Amino acid sequence: MELPSVSDRFLSRRRLLQLSGLSGLGLVLGGCASTLYDDVVFKTFEPINQSVEELLLNPQKLIPNFPVSAIEPEALLINSFQGTPKIDPQAYLLTVNGDVNHSFTLSLAELQKMPSTSMVIRHVCVEGWAAIVQWGGVPLRDLIALARPKEGAKYVYFKSADGYYESWDLVSSMHPQTLMVYQKNGQPLSPENGAPLRLASPIKLGYKQSKWVTEITLTKQLYPKKGYWEDLGYEWFGGL
Ligand SMILES: Nc1nc2c(c(=O)[nH]1)N[C@H]1C(S)=C(S)[C@@H](COP(=O)(O)O)O[C@H]1N2
Ligand SMILES: [Mo]
């Protein structure tokens, strides 16, 4: 099986600072030792309470990848509450909006031009099955950094083309292995598995991993409608 490199290729710190509007600091501090750089950057954003800046500069711990040989191509069952929506990948657009300084919309081609990464993780469904899967796509944290969330933004809502909806905490959304993926097991993502774009992360249960995502909205509050399954009684955090 041909798989892309499993190594993590995230945006460089410098590039993320540029994208997130903090590049002025980078210019001023360009020649400084990295410890001083960190000091000043952190002081600038004090007091920090899991702000986007802190989450960008202090990525959370990585979950170890499974080897590619552990992938279980047959084990990932299709689980869709309402069938597979029809989406033309050529016309598909992802919108990122809400409590951000820079709302934007990207086509699939544009998303695929962004730095991508790949991981081999376990998908766990509360209905009693699990599967080791390789996912490839864009770190959600890069999209969030591009949108430059407003201070106080703490939640991330995901709207799907089938009417499914989800909400995550910002910290989990900024985990380096929380990805918006367009590839599964080395192949383009299939429509049943959420193409053109779905969430994938080793830190959350299967129902948190929205398929067919069309809109990502940053919010300061968690609204009464939290998620399709959550609103029917499932736990909201859904951590693994
Ligand atoms: N849009 C949407 N996303 C969804 C679902 C869904 O019904 N609609 N089901 C969830 C559940 S319960 C699981 S376990 C996974 C299953 O992903 P898969 O069908 O690719 O195996 O998708 C999640 N994301
Ligand atoms: Mo699930």
* pLDDT single digits (tens) 144-154: 999 999 999 99
Would you say residue 133 lies in a domain?
Answer: yes
Asked if residue 201 has its Cβ within 6 Å of ligand 1, the reply is: no
Q: Which residue range is the domain that position 122 belongs to? A: 65-232
Pocket test for ligand 1, best of 71, 72, 77, 80 (most atoms within 8 A of CB): 80
- pLDDT beyond 90 at 53: no
Residue 21: inside a domain: no
174 forms beta bridges with none
pLDDT at residue 24 above 70?
no
Instruction: Return the pLDDT at 49.
Output: 52
Q: Is residue 37 part of a domain?
A: no
> Please, is 69 exposed, middle or buried when counting C-beta atoms within 10 Å of its C-beta (0-12, 13-18, 19+)?
exposed
Kindly tell me if the per-residue pLDDT of 235 is higher than 50.
yes
In this predicted structure, the answer to whether residue 13 has a pLDDT above a threshold of 80 is no
Helix (H, G, I), strand (E, B) or coil at 118: strand
Contact between 143 and 210 under an 8 Å Cβ cutoff? The reply is no
Kindly report the pTM of this predicted structure: 0.83
Per-residue pLDDT tens for 138-177? 999 999 999 999 999 999 999 999 999 999 999 999 999 9
Alpha helices in 65-154 (DSSP H): 108-113, 140-147
Total domain count, the chain: 1
Q: What is the pLDDT of residue 22?
A: 43
For residue 167, tell me if it sits in a domain: yes
Collapsed DSSP state (helix, strand, coil) of residue 220:
coil
Ligand 1 and 164: CB distance under 6 A: yes
pLDDT at residue 46 in the model: 37
Answer yes or no: is 31 within a domain: no
CATH, residue 188: 3.90.420.10
Q: What tens digit of pLDDT does each residue of 62-109 get?
A: 999 999 999 999 999 999 999 999 999 999 999 999 999 999 999 999
Q: Please check whether residue 16 lies inside any domain of the structure.
A: no
